Chain A
């Protein structure tokens, strides 16, 4: 992230040296777009914050741990599809879960659905792509993630 900010800073300087007006116009354009998406983003973040509060690590263990058996895969897929966790939270959390006894294959399903499917962000996706496309893309991604997670689970099962 820091790298990206630095690169952006350098790009702005270079761009500014070549053409002042173009640079300002570009930044303005980007900023306007950001302001337009801001209200929707904020409300989505609020909903996610509230929902996340009710899902504690213990609850996660109940549904994803060895006790849950095959149900763990289903829970992982559903949890992954609904939640959107930034990577810097999701990976440490997965690490903790693995240490507390959740199998890597369950984590594989969780991570792949988490990344590819975003049910809670459909309100944002819908604004750009339309509801139908957003739903189709998420559904396809869900099955894609299940396939990837499933094959990984199978490989982990073999070794």
Chain B
């Protein structure tokens, strides 16, 4: 328990301070405090509470059902273009903020996905999720989205290669927290 608290001491300090701040703001009708809570914090919390548990359940199920051999074969080292396309497709179909992709990256690596593909996955995840594209097209137009996509794909594949090579060369690893 003590170890647990030490690990998250900054987080809990921030959470405690914020809780007191918000409670105080409501009590004393301190408007900025109420606004920060109502307009901003609640919106993020909503996103987190709806998206993340779903993501993590998928991760858990993926973990127990998909074998290491399968992952290695399809998106591991030497999986080539097919591997790249597969991780990109995987990323495009998901939704949620970038931090939701990190645990997925951990699991994929654990199961034998190549480092290059891990980073391509992360970049693809940030750039082009299909649920978000519908939003983008709605507000900024189809041309904008298409142009952005066409330009982004080569850039993030390149970043994936650079990061993957760096990652392997320095024997880095992804930690489960």
**Most central of B12, B60, B62 by chain A CB within 10 Å:** B60
B61 to A112, Cβ gap below 8 A?
Answer: no
A128 to B106, Cβ gap below 8 A?
Answer: yes
B30 at interface by CB-CB < 8 Å: no
Count of residues in A whose CB is under 8 Å from the partner chain: 72
* Segment 142-177 of B: residues with Cβ below 8 Å from A: 144, 147-148, 151-152, 155-156, 158-159, 162-163, 166-167, 172, 174-177
Chain B interface helix/strand/loop/mixed: helix
Partner of B132, one of A4, A31, A87, A112: A87
Residues of B near A59 (CB, < 8 A) are none
CA distance A120 to B91 in the complex (A): 22
- Partner-B contacts on A (CB < 8 A): 1, 3-5, 8, 11-12, 15, 22-23, 25-31, 33-34, 36-37, 39-50, 52-53, 84, 86-89, 91-92, 94-95, 98, 104, 107-108, 111-112, 115-116, 118, 121, 124-125, 127-130, 132-133, 136-137, 140-141, 144, 147-148, 151-152, 155
* Cross-chain pairs A/B with CB under 8 angstroms, 21 sampled: A22-B64, A25-B60, A29-B60, A29-B63, A31-B53, A34-B52, A42-B14, A46-B18, A46-B41, A84-B97, A91-B139, A91-B140, A112-B148, A116-B156, A118-B99, A121-B98, A129-B175, A137-B163, A144-B152, A152-B144, A152-B151
Other than A34-B53, A87-B136, A98-B140, give 11 A-B pairs with Cβ distance below 8 A.
A5-B50, A37-B103, A39-B8, A43-B11, A45-B44, A86-B97, A108-B148, A121-B98, A129-B175, A133-B163, A141-B123
